[in-house]
């Protein structure tokens, strides 16, 4: 019953006034929506705003974790290979892969260096020179990460994955290194150093290692 008088009232108003009235109603509605939107947005730095920010970060982390390959979360263990994995981001897809590969190689060099250092310390102990300061200093230098990294010629890429992360790419890289190559590195490092070569000759274990390396080389050439 109330609708008819309203319609009649609008009809009796001049057309230009009708348009003006409608525009005022639209503007009033828009302002109301803006006010409501402003009221719903938490003030920066407030507990509400921090809670929203935390929720956004947690969702992003959960999304990244779900996209992460299994082999990155749990590096494979193998009796024939040493594995290392790494992840890096970049706005350039190839750059993200290159950065991840370099990081994985450095991680592998650290592991290989530790293994070779343990081997050399065992040879030094058997040869009776484990307390020789010169020997220990040389062993530390030739098994350092930088020195080992140069000799990682047998590194293989085992797997890789690239995901989009915002406006960037995240690359995951998995590399592996044959355990048999550790023997070659140890022998080569000793042979290249006059002091170690002379000291370790008294170690039967090192002589056995040299023989194994030579036998492996013969098998590879045949």
- Is the predicted pLDDT of residue 150 greater than 80, yes or no? no
Helices (H), the chain: 3-12, 15-40, 47-67, 70-73, 93-126, 133-142, 145-150, 180-191, 194-199, 204-221
Q: How many angstroms separate the CA atoms of 102 and 90, rounded? A: 14
What's the pTM?
0.67
Nearest to 68 by CA among 160, 166, 168, 176: 160
CB 97 within 8 A of CB 160: yes
- Is the predicted pLDDT of residue 98 greater than 80, yes or no? yes
Across the range 182-200, mean pLDDT stands at 89
| Percent of the chain's residues with pLDDT above 70 | 72
Q: How many angstroms separate the CA atoms of 9 and 16, rounded? A: 14
Phi, psi of 30 (to 5 degrees): -65, -45
Q: How many angstroms separate the CA atoms of 24 and 90, rounded? A: 51
Measured CA to CA in angstroms, residue 150 lies from 110, 170, 186 at distances of 12, 26, 13
> Which letter does DSSP use for residue 192 in this model?
T
Across the range 67-88, mean pLDDT stands at 91
pLDDT band, very low/low/confident/very high, at 100 (cuts 50, 70, 90): very high
pLDDT of residue 217: 79
Across the range 41-67, mean pLDDT stands at 66
Q: How many angstroms separate the CA atoms of 99 and 206, rounded? A: 37
pLDDT of residue 9: 45
Nearest to 157 by CA among 133, 176, 131, 134: 176
**Model confidence over 115-136: pLDDT tens digits?**
888 988 999 999 999 899 999 9
Q: Coil, strand, or helix at residue 92?
A: coil
Share the mean pLDDT of the chain.
81
């Amino acid at each position: 019953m109330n609708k008819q008088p309203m319609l009649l009232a609008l009809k009796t108003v001049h057309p230009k006034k009708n348009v003006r009235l409608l525009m005022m109603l639209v503007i009033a509605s828009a302002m109301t929506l803006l006010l409501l939107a402003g009221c719903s947005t938490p003030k920066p730095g407030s507990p509400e705003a921090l809670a929203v920010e935390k929720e956004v970060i947690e969702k992003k982390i959960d999304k990244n974790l779900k996209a992460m390959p299994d082999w990155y979360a749990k590096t494979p263990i193998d009796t024939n290979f040493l594995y290392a994995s790494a992840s890096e981001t970049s706005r350039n897809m190839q750059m993200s892969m290159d950065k991840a590969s370099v990081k994985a190689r450095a991680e592998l060099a650290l592991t290989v260096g530790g293994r070779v250092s343990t081997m050399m310390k065992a040879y030094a102990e058997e040869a009776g020179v484990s307390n020789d300061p010169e020997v220990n200093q040389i062993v530390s230098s030739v098994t350092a990460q930088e020195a080992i990294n140069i000799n990682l010629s047998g590194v293989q890429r085992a797997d890789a994955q690239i995901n989009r992360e915002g406006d960037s790419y995240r690359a995951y890289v998995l590399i592996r290194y044959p355990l048999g190559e550790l023997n070659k590195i140890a022998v080569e490092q000793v042979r290249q150093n006059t002091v170690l070569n002379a000291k370790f000759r008294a170690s039967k274990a090192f002589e056995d290692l040299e023989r194994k390396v030579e036998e492996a080389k013969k098998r590879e050439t045949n």
